[in-house]
Chains A and B, each alone.
Chain A
Amino acid sequence: MFRILPPLFAAFFLVTLAGCYTAPRPVVPYTGDPVVDGNANLAVAPEQDKALWEYRIAAAALRRGQTAEATAKLDDALARTAGALAPGAQAAKSRKLFGREETKPFAGEPYERIMGNYYRGLIYWRDGEPDNARALFRSGQFIDSDTENKTYSGDWVLLDYLDGLATRKLAGDGSDALARARASAQAQSRPVPPDYDAKANVLVFAEYGPGPLKYASGEYGELLKFTVDKSPVAFARLTVDGRTLELPPYDDVSWQATTRGGRVMDHILGNKAVFKQRSETVGDVALVGALGTAAYGTGKDSQNLAIGLAAVGLVSKIMSAATQTQADVRSWNNLPRYLSFGALRLAPGEHAAVLTFHNPAGRVLANRTQNFVISVPAPDVTTADADVLGDIVVIRSDLDN
């Protein structure tokens, strides 16, 4: 009888060590081009990760001026996200004891979803549809409205500010949104955005500093946490035609990521972790009991008891090992930390612009300076809409393209 136990333990260790086999991901050749590499990864990514790759590609493409690519990827990612959020089998599976959270289709944490809306909104504005841009800024603020602590609910400064600016440009008022933006800025001790200039025809969107990344904490990796790297850039400044436009950090994406409070999923993972711990303890106790009984017990009853305890111990240990407590740490890993905005009036023509990034001491980080040209087309006097020429949207990033 006692010969049974060693093979059982061996089987247990094999199972534990082997874990669950997953097919290896195809190797994607690295070219250093984030859009090319992103698309190569997207092609081989599992279905649940497609939106994640699309978001990453979109951000890289937008920074390089590949707006069509960014639009296509954002549209698809936002549609996938909307679909993922509805109750579905995959999401339900990720809540189960033996289901991993990362098997659910990626929709991102709220700050990631908001950034998807924000970027798409910038493109709508660039395409002459400020009301659709405003719709996405409103959706972004709506996504942020269910924080655990209501102090941090719907407190993105730029989303409200741009909502109001779009409204003002569409012959509306926009003062409510401006007041909300300023209140959020003051609550976060951030720079207060200026009054609107509805006649400003060049809108500059700047971003700098590395954005938040996720990691799993807790004994069983059940806690979702964020790493927030210190940004070497504290603010930016645009100089064009001898004029200076300050681009301070109106929004901190890391602040937004870390002020949402607990998730419902955290409770689910917490319960899984408790189960994992308890089943592991039960397994340990049962296996030690089985060994003790096997070593010191005599007679048929002892043998049966040892087998029973070993069975309970093994099943408990296997259940514990199979319980998936890891928080989903898939991150939109090329987001910025700070978002800024400035508006100015420029006459038709070519304007040389210099964008400088500054450290907290105000010193220019020379290796990050960007020189570029802002082209303002002349109004087409042959059309009836000559007086409603769209805004020029400039998107500049300190992050690697």
Chain B
Amino acid sequence: MKTSTHRKLALLAGAVVTALFAGCASSGVKNPSGVPVTEMKADERGFVAGTGIESQDLVTVTDKMARSILGIPEITQAKTTPRVVLEPIMNETRFPINKDIFLTRIRTQLNQKAAGKVRFLARENMRALEREQQLKQDGLVTASQDPNVVQFKGADYFLTGKLQGMSARTSQGLSDYILYSFQLIDAATSEIVWEDSAEIKKQGLEDAAYR
């Protein structure tokens, strides 16, 4: 009898302790030392991902655009190297973006792969360039060419783009579609000599704890 009672008591104590620890589960800490830094490729979908615009989208879209531009006759068959000015892209999505980053990547891709078939004009540096020219004209610094002759090139084309989006949300989650379209516009005629686009759609599910 005594042994049986002791066994029951032990079981009871065990149950109490188990329940007690279960109740205190919130005191546990996941990843107490943090998550180690993981280096990833820019075109890789990481474990931290949302339905917004991410690096893999940037890489996919700009690679496609750079390849597409390189195939058009206005570039490949131009008698003189076409000069291109980047115009800020228009963001019509629900995601704020660094608007320069798409065009910067297209420009670097083209500069790397076009082998001089296209040149970009550094209009964002005009103020510094003008100041330098003024210094040369004033004779304060040396000049390898006549500083009074305008050397700044005019644009043959403008490269610009637009990001447009559609979003949907239900109790099941949310969905974001983004259309990335880019254009090359003839500066003299306003003709759109090239246009291409890329589409990316993502869906996600929010945790029920936040719905």
A residues with a Cβ closer than 8 A to B are: 1, 4, 8, 11-12, 15, 20-22, 82-96, 98-101, 103-104, 107, 120, 124, 129, 131-136, 138-139, 142, 145-146, 170, 263-265, 268, 300, 303-304, 307, 310-311, 314-315, 318-319, 321-324, 382-384
Q: Known interface pairs A1-B5, A265-B208, A315-B15. Does A15 touch B20 (Cβ–Cβ under 8 Å)? A: yes
Residues of B near A146 (CB, < 8 A) are 169-171, 211
Given A4-B9, A11-B16, answer yes or no on A91-B209 (Cβ-Cβ < 8 Å). Answer: yes
Closest-by-CB residue of B relative to A267 is B208
Task: List the A side residues contacting B170 at CB < 8 Å.
Answer: 146
B54 CB → nearest A CB, Å: 11
Tell me how many residues of B have a C-beta within 8 Å of chain A: 47
Q: Is the CB of B210 within 8 A of A84?
A: yes
Q: Are B93 and A85 in touch, CB under 8 angstroms?
A: no
> How near does chain B come to A10, taking the closest CB pair, in angstroms?
12
CA distance A311 to B48 in the complex (A): 46
Render B165-189 as a binary contact track against A, CB cut-off 8 A, 1 for contact.
0010111001000000000000000
A98–B24 Cα distance when bound, in Å, is 8
In the complex, the answer to whether A98 meets B23 with C-beta atoms within 8 Å is yes
What is the distance, in angstroms, from A110's C-beta to the closest C-beta of chain B?
A: 9
Q: Which residues of A contact B49 (CB under 8 A)?
A: 86
Which A-chain residue is minimally distant from B162 (CB atoms)? A131
Contacts A142-B167, A264-B211, A315-B19 given; indicate if A131 touches B50 (C-beta within 8 A): no
**Is B204 an interface position by the 8 A CB rule?**
yes
Contact of B94 with A324 in the complex, beta carbons under 8 Å:
no
Q: In the assembled complex, how far is the CB of residue A51 from the closest CB belonging to chain B, in whole angstroms?
A: 12
Q: Which residue of B lies closest to A140 (CB)?
A: B94
Which residue of A99, A300, A318, A324 is within 8 Å of B1 (Cβ)? A300
User: Most chain-A CB neighbours within 10 Å: which of B19, B123, B126, B206?
Assistant: B19
In the complex, what residues of A have CB within 8 A of residue B93's CB? 135, 138
26 contacts between A and B (CB under 8 A): A8-B12, A11-B16, A20-B26, A83-B48, A84-B210, A86-B50, A87-B206, A95-B209, A100-B26, A107-B210, A129-B96, A135-B96, A142-B94, A146-B211, A265-B210, A268-B209, A300-B1, A310-B12, A311-B8, A311-B11, A314-B15, A315-B15, A315-B19, A319-B23, A322-B24, A384-B123
Residues of chain B contacted by A89 (CB below 8 angstroms): 30
Whether B209 lies near A135 (C-beta < 8 A) is no
Q: Is the CB of A138 within 8 A of B94?
A: yes
**How many angstroms between the C-alpha atoms of A308 and B91 in the bound complex?**
68
Chain B contacts with A in 1-54, Cβ cutoff 8 A: 1, 5, 8-9, 11-12, 15-16, 19-20, 22-27, 30, 48-50, 52
Say whether A307 contacts B207, CB under 8 Å.
no
Within 8 A of A (CB), among B133-160: none
Given contacts A20-B27, A98-B26, A268-B209, could you give 10 more A-B pairs where the C-beta distance is less than 8 Å?
A15-B16, A86-B49, A92-B209, A96-B25, A98-B25, A104-B210, A263-B211, A265-B210, A300-B1, A322-B24
Closest chain-B Cβ to A86's Cβ sits at a distance in Å of: 7
Which listed residue (B50, B171, B209) contacts A265, Cβ 8 A?
Answer: B209
Q: How far is the CA of A311 from the CA of B96 in the complex (A)?
A: 58
Cβ of A93 and Cβ of B26 under 8 Å apart?
A: yes
**B97: Cβ under 8 A from any A Cβ:** yes
Cβ–Cβ contact A21 & B27, under 8 A? yes
Q: Which residue of B lies closest to A138 (CB)?
A: B94
Chain A residues lying within 8 Å of B210, measured Cβ to Cβ, are 84-85, 91, 104, 107, 265
Note all chain A residues with C-beta closer than 8 A to B209.
Answer: 91-92, 94-95, 101, 104, 265, 268
